[in-house]
Structure 1
Amino acid sequence: MRKNSIKNTRVNGEVQKELSSLISREIKDPRINPMTTVVAVEVAPDLKHAKVYISVLGDEESKKSTYEGLRSAAPFMRRELARRINLRNTPELTFVMDQSIEYGVNMSKLINDVNQKNDEDLDTTEEDSGEE
């Protein structure tokens, strides 16, 4: 099975869906932030390992505690994945903090600030030209 094969893409999507469900509904660990999102999952072609990209909305302390909570819940999640998805091997889960959503929000804010400043400059220029 090649890394980007159709089967691997389906497995990635199914594992991502199940992990999202597990994190939001099943895990009761208070360390895990309720605003935790599974951004992507990369399952190895041999189905032995999976990288789970997680995004947490919050401060650094919240991200750290969520990461620790997810690491401690990994055996439970692996067991539940084995129960819910019929795979030859159930992958061992490795969590990776993903900053892409936070980065996108910051970029959007910066773009909006620049646009707002340009609009204000344009209004000021129009007022100056109107007085002459």
Structure 2
Amino acid sequence: MKSRQRLYNRPKNFGRELRVADFIRIELTDLLRNKVRDPRVSQNEVTISDVKVSRDLAYADVYVACQSDDGEEAAEAILSVMRNAAGFFRSELAQRHSMRTTPELRFHFDRTEAEASRIEELLARVRRS
């Protein structure tokens, strides 16, 4: 609930696409926790790391990060589940907010954490040598 209050207490000059992106991120996180029952999602720690909405609010690029020991295979399976459930997510978002149109959701794997750990590992090697 606290995160929703933060969403609606934004200053007016906070762009509409940023408010919509924030709303989508919060609501998708809630849907993942409470509505998605697929074991590939529930057994892995899946988070919505970022959402970028087009200026015309037609598309939302959703970046998904997951903590899994299976690596790339698990990430692809999770993305497949998310893409297959995109219509469900979109209809749930439409019910939760009164927008004229709900953006089409496009899911992408967020490699930021993997890249950060790879860079840290490289820096650790440099320090050791």
- After TM superposition, is the score higher than 0.5? yes
- State the distance in 2 between where 1:68 and 1:40 align: 18
More helix by share: 1
Per-residue deviation, residues 39-69 of structure 1 (Å, max 9, x unmatched): 1111122222111111222312111110111
Residues 90-122 of structure 1: CA distance to partner in whole angstroms, max 9, x if unpaired?
A: 11111111211111122123223433x15xxxx
> Structure 1 length normalisation: TM-score?
0.76
How far does residue 20 in structure 1 lie from its aligned partner after superposition?
1.5
1:13 aligns with 2:22: yes
What is the TM-score of this pair, normalised by structure 2?
0.77
1:87 is aligned to: 99
2:72 corresponds, among 47, 60, 69, to 60
1:34 equivalenced with 2:50 (yes/no): no
Let me know the Cα RMSD of the aligned residues.
1.7
* Unpaired segments ≥5 residues, structure 2: 1-13
CA contact (8 A) 2:20 2:53 kept: yes
Identical aligned residues as a percent: 32
Q: Size of the alignment, in residue pairs? A: 113
Which whole-Å deviations, capped at 9, do the CAs of 1:2-24 have from their partners, x for residues lacking one? Answer: xxx61211111111111122123
